[in-house]
A and B are shown apart, each in its own frame.
Chain A
Amino acid sequence: MKGKPLLIATVSVGVVLLAGIFFVALNLVMQQGARPTPGSPAPDFTLKLYPGYRAGLPEEIRLSDLRGSVVVINFWASWCVECHKEAQALEGIYRAYKDRGVVVLGVDYLDTEAPALAYLKQYDVTYPNGIDLQQRIAKAYRITGVPETFFIDRDGVVREVVIAPLTEAQLRTMIEALIED
């Protein structure tokens, strides 16, 4: 009988602590959602573009505004060694396909502005590029690192995800398949 209040206190404390952990876990899961895979709709987002890297688009663009175009979303960072390997290839396919309804969208991840702009200048990038403020886009797409590239079709559906630097030949193959669809 003497141990009963102690048991109640211990159980109550345990329940409150577990409830706290449960709510945090639930919030995190709801915020992140599932990782987009081929066949799933591409999570919508707003990207604030760097000045000089808007390619005729407004300062802030929504992915859903690009519906009807094939979109190649490339997560990159100036400090990422592997990203440097694919920078020219991305620019090459943008120039080759921009008049055929293809948009390459650079999403700069965990980067400071000066090195990011230096990177874009170094590779003579002209496709739209912006900063992923507060890592919102990276969280929505649940990227595992950089570079990571998502291929979105004209209906806003993810068709391919590549977690590696891409060559121009690989990019061409994937884009051609999406254009023909």
Chain B
Amino acid sequence: MKAIRAFISLLLAVWLVAGLAQAQLPAPDEPTYRIAKQLNCPTCAGRNLADCPTETCAQWKAEIKAQLDAGKSAEEVLIYFQDRFGPTVLQEPPKSGVTAPLWAAPVGAAVIFLAIAGLVMWRTAQRNTRTPAPVAANHSDPFVAALEREVRAGE
């Protein structure tokens, strides 16, 4: 019985802590949240700033709010973060610089694939136009019909 009570208390405590952590996050309709959604947590790999409850992210969100309150636009705030912490802070970093080959490689691969596929199709089409079409038997021609009769008779 004691164990069950302890387990329920633990569940309640976890629920309460989770609730408090959630309460610290800005509401989804806030402009801060919308900007934070476009940034990465600096310390947790791959985690969104808006949904991260760490101290670092709390500071960054406070900075976003302070800049918005000071009259800066969302774009200006994002530029501030990019200038201060680098382009990797953005959820969608600019498609240039070091990562440019990663964006260019699939496009290059697709162009090469399409070029080779096009060449193969063109060569197949060329081959088909050079091959003479089979001549259909013309039974309406009396000469051909007589010839066929003679051939059959000879067999």
Residues of A at the B interface (CB closer than 8 Å) are 5, 8-9, 12-13, 16-17, 19-21, 23-24, 27-28, 31, 77-79, 110-115, 131, 133-135
A25 to B80, CA, bound (A): 28
Q: How far is the CB of B52 from chain A (nearest CB, A)?
A: 12
A-B contact count (CB 8 A): 75
Q: Which residues of B contact A21 (CB under 8 A)?
A: 101-102, 105
Q: How far is the CB of B32 from chain A (nearest CB, A)?
A: 13
The binding surface of chain B is classed by DSSP as helix
A21 to B106, CA, bound (A): 10
Contact B112 A79, beta carbon cutoff 8 Å: no
A110 to B54, CA, bound (A): 13
Q: How far is the CB of B122 from chain A (nearest CB, A)?
A: 11
A115 to B102, CA, bound (A): 36
Contact A110 B43, beta carbon cutoff 8 Å: yes
Take A23-B101, A24-B101, A135-B86 as given contacts and tell me if A13 and B56 are in contact as well, using a CB distance cutoff of 8 Å. Answer: no
The binding surface of chain A is classed by DSSP as helix
Q: Which residue of B lies closest to A19 (CB)?
A: B105
Q: Which residue of A lies closest to B60 (CB)?
A: A112
The bracket for how many chain B residues form the interface is 20 to 34
Residues of B at the A interface (CB closer than 8 Å) are 42-43, 54-56, 59-60, 62-63, 66, 83-86, 98-99, 101-102, 104-106, 108-110, 112-113, 116-117, 119-120
Q: Which residues of A contact B99 (CB under 8 A)?
A: 24
Can you list 8 pairs linking A and B with CB atoms under 8 Å apart?
A8-B116, A9-B116, A12-B116, A13-B112, A16-B108, A110-B42, A110-B43, A134-B85
Q: How far is the CB of A92 from chain B (nearest CB, A)?
A: 26
A158 to B60, CA, bound (A): 33
Contact B109 A31, beta carbon cutoff 8 Å: no
Q: Which residues of A contact B42 (CB under 8 A)?
A: 110
Contact B112 A12, beta carbon cutoff 8 Å: yes
Q: Which of A17, A77, A78 contacts B109 (CB 8 A)?
A: A17
Q: Which residues of B contact A135 (CB under 8 A)?
A: 85-86
